[in-house]
Structure 1
Amino acid sequence: MHRRQFVLGAMGAGLSAGSTSALAQAAAKECSRAAIPYGAAIRVDLLRDDQEYRRAVLGNCQLVVGEGGLKWIDLRPEPGKFHFDHPDRLLAFADANGMRMRGHTLAWYAAMPKWTEAISTKAEAERVLYEHIDTVVGRYKGRIPSWDVVNEAISDNPAVEAPMRKSIWQDLIGTQHVELALRRTAAVDPNAQLVLNDFGFENPTEQCRAKRAAFLRLVRDLKDRDAPLHAIGLQGHLPGEKDIDKDGISSFVAELHGMGLSILVTELDVIDDKLPRDRAIRDDIVASRVRAFLQAVGDVCRPEAVLTWGISDRFTWVPIWFRRKDGEPNRPLPLDANYRPKPMMRVIREFTRAKL
């Protein structure tokens, strides 16, 4: 559906923080009761080198997405040449094991190769972006069904007059780069699901409220311009020490769903650097944050997918930026470092299973 659904759109536009339940119940009845596919971000070399990791993925996942491989710095470390080894291997693994693969990502501010710093004009930026989308989406047309077309476009602290994050695309093309990327991707693969993916929406803070408002303004403008946008990816990198703004998230999802957009949870984990040292207590808090976040989404509509950013605490990005001061290992993911399920995995399994 490419236009706003009148009833949900009209109701959602007037929501206050405390008035989501009627809309949530109405929307939930419209959504599928089938099981929600679960997946994880995958490191391709570990599928070959770590048999426990491979078994964990095979035993739990219906979807995969590459942690890397399809990012510009991996695909195009030098101009004029593409390196498809990692995404080709991950797609072959997915195909061989009855899984689907998501594409992440076509336009992002980060993980850009050094050579792109020499791009200096709008025309050149558009040409390089189009070349990238034509080559990458064209290679996987009909095989990767869902793409994070633009990733993290909204600033961490968006001002009304300047909501967009600085990037090569924003700096040289402007906000129009989002629409251009969507339209080009749709032209290359008309059957692909096109997704805007972003984070930082989930807490009861002014920062999160401002980011939700800025994101909604962008999405409304895209829909009013009939841009080919089909779904929203809510990353869900949840700060463990902060409460989930359940009413705020439900209202936000209701607005998006009311514009005819599907919802995906795309990068779920819990940043636990500020949580207690005791592992059992910490795991319970992590699970409670995930439960509150998923319930806030699910009260409006069951998402089309739930993916975590990694599957085991043995391999996670979190300690790169959020290492614990007490020396304890971070525990942000559904399986521990020995691939045993934690309370977070039980929450995910309960949420994603088919509803009667």
Structure 2
Amino acid sequence: MTTGGRNGLVRRAWAVWASGALCVLASAGCSQPGTGADAGGDNAPGGAVTSPAAAPGTGKPGTGKPSGAAAGTEDGAGAADHPALATARINVADGQTIGVGMPVSITFARPVPAAQRADVERALAVTTSPRTTGGWSWIKDRNLHDGQRIDYRPPAFWKPATKISVRAGGHLNRQVTVGRSLVATVDVRTHTMTVAEDGRERRVPITAGAPGMDTWNGTMVVSDKQRRVWMDSRTVDYGDAYRGYYNYAVHLTASGTYLHENPKAGANAGRRNITHGCIGLAADGTARRFFDSVIPGDVIRVVGSKETVDAGNGYGDWNLGWDQWTAGSALA
């Protein structure tokens, strides 16, 4: 189902995050861009990263030091803690392995005023091994106010095996490792997904958003995944069209885009686009195999569609060029 918030309600319940949007499966596929659904089923295994848009306080490349914390240094060291840092949350779990597209995302319980954002940035530090240039940028999250989210990323995807340490003030620290590289490119015109994993490629037939319900274009990042998700058409103004659990759901945007098993994909994947915006995979084991292969931070790039997903709709950070990204720093 697709995604991004052009109409409908966004209602979800998460144990870790306060709110977010799920994709909704209609008889032919997924919800229209901009819709959401109630969530159910099993949580993503291993403390998977969830959407930054769902983080109240909780999706996804110079100058070298554009945002006060250059990789390989601790430019925030010694800065006095800003009060906002007392409510800060980081989107990655300590010790987690992440995909090459995962930004470091920090959210705050209340908006940080524009005049105070530079002080907050000075209290943030990212160090990497090997040394990697990167920078902070304030992102307008789809489900938060301006000033409640700041992300850190390099100019291009992280290199596999990079070790990343994050510090927000004196009390909040995380250490994560970048795993193998997985970048999946979905071409909605040819109804195929090319999965590049550590130098090997495989092609998978898919079905994407039908005309008028187009899948988001651009680069998205896996925020989390669930073995099954409860989807209810009433949350997206589709009446009683469908209610039930749907399998192997890989979460891509806060507005509701998923890459998931679609019962109608067997007859349509590789041939035509029939969903309401999500990316559908067949129930012959194709969806399960892809689900098993991905981790939070893996990259899903959609080409041949129309509207590009916003930076704050999940982890849409990579849809900003590097100059745009560094301009979002309060220290630029």
Higher relative contact order (Cα pairs below 8 Å, separated by 6+ residues): 2
TM over 0.5: no
Normalised by the length of structure 2, the TM-score is: 0.28
Normalised by the length of structure 1, the TM-score is: 0.27
Structure 1 or 2: larger strand share? 2
Structure 1 or 2: larger helix share? 1
Q: Which has the larger radius of gyration?
A: 1
